[in-house]
Amino acid sequence: MAPLGSLSTFPVGSRVRVESLCDCPGARGRLCAMGITPGTVVEITSCCGGPVCLRARGCSFTLGNGLAQKVFGRLDRGEIAAA
């Protein structure tokens, strides 16, 4: 099984399945409103040590590094097979 990590730790081009969100109600509500919920697959499109750009559910988002560190996931199974 792939290791669990925050969105800010995955390289560009990774497809990550969201496993869990932080316990902070404000951050969790904001992420859920954007459609970033457990089970969602997101694609990292840019990550340069600051904001993380990603695609999820047909939309593009940019999360600040602090918020991206509160989303935990694993490489999607298809991504692991290709590696």
Q: How many CB atoms lie within 10 A of CB 64?
A: 11
Report the C-alpha gap between 24 and 17 in whole angstroms. 20
pLDDT at 81: 45
Range of the domain at 64: 5-82
Q: Give the separation between CA 82 and CA 38, rounded to whole angstroms.
A: 23
CATH of the domain at 68: 2.30.30.90
If DSSP states are collapsed to H, E and C, what string results for 42-63? EEEEEECCCCEEEEECCEEEEE
Q: What is the mean pLDDT of each run of 10 residues along the chain (83 residues)?
A: 87 95 93 94 89 93 93 81 45
- Beta strand 52-56 pairing with 59-63: antiparallel
Tally the domains of the chain.
Answer: 1
Residue 9: its pLDDT value, please?
92
Query: In this structure, how many other beta carbons lie within 10 angstroms of the beta carbon of residue 48?
Result: 9
Please give the pLDDT value at position 28.
Answer: 94
